[in-house]
Amino acid sequence: MHSLFPINALLLLAPGQQGRESEVVERIRDVAGLDVAASRQFFSSLKQAVLSGDKAAVSKMMRYPLRACISNPKRNQVASSDEFIKHYDEIINEAVVKAIREQEFNELFVNYKGIMIGRGEFWINATRGSNAKPGRMCVITINN
């Protein structure tokens, strides 16, 4: 048996956060069907890359085609990493940056569609392989 969440990490949480953290962990595992450690690492890496403005790193965390709005040409999908980087400032606008800046792991919303950051600014899930098991973590939608 392996532990999905280190017990000593629970001790570092403020009172009241332990219950919320374990609820998020359970929902990631049981409702979204995702690996908890991979989800935690992806969230942390995404947050760091967005807040530091690392366009290349953020672009590698997307699943293409990515659902996001761009105005020129006006459409709701971004086809590639190159296109994402070209429209980065429009896609990762101030509202999107604010959402991830203020989001804490223990406050994530999780459902069968994946992990939501903010009020839906980011949706995260994993690619699915031919065996229907979760694969690479990625952003599937940015509501900008």
94-144 pLDDT, tens digit each: 999 999 999 999 999 999 999 999 999 999 999 876 555 557 899 999 999
Asked if residue 6 is part of any domain, the answer here is: no
User: Total structural domains in the chain?
Assistant: 1
Q: Which pLDDT score is estimated for 133?
A: 56
What average pLDDT is seen over the chain?
85
Q: Which residue has the higher pLDDT, 128 or 89?
A: 89
Q: Which residue has the higher pLDDT, 133 or 92?
A: 92
Range of the domain at 77: 14-142
Asked if residue 124 is part of any domain, the answer here is: yes
Asked if residue 43 is part of any domain, the answer here is: yes
**Omega within 30 of 0 (cis) for the link into 6:** no
Asked if residue 126 is part of any domain, the answer here is: yes
Asked if residue 3 is part of any domain, the answer here is: no
Asked if residue 5 is part of any domain, the answer here is: no
Asked if residue 2 is part of any domain, the answer here is: no
**Where would I find the H helices in the chain?**
7-10, 17-30, 36-52, 55-59, 81-86, 88-91, 94-102
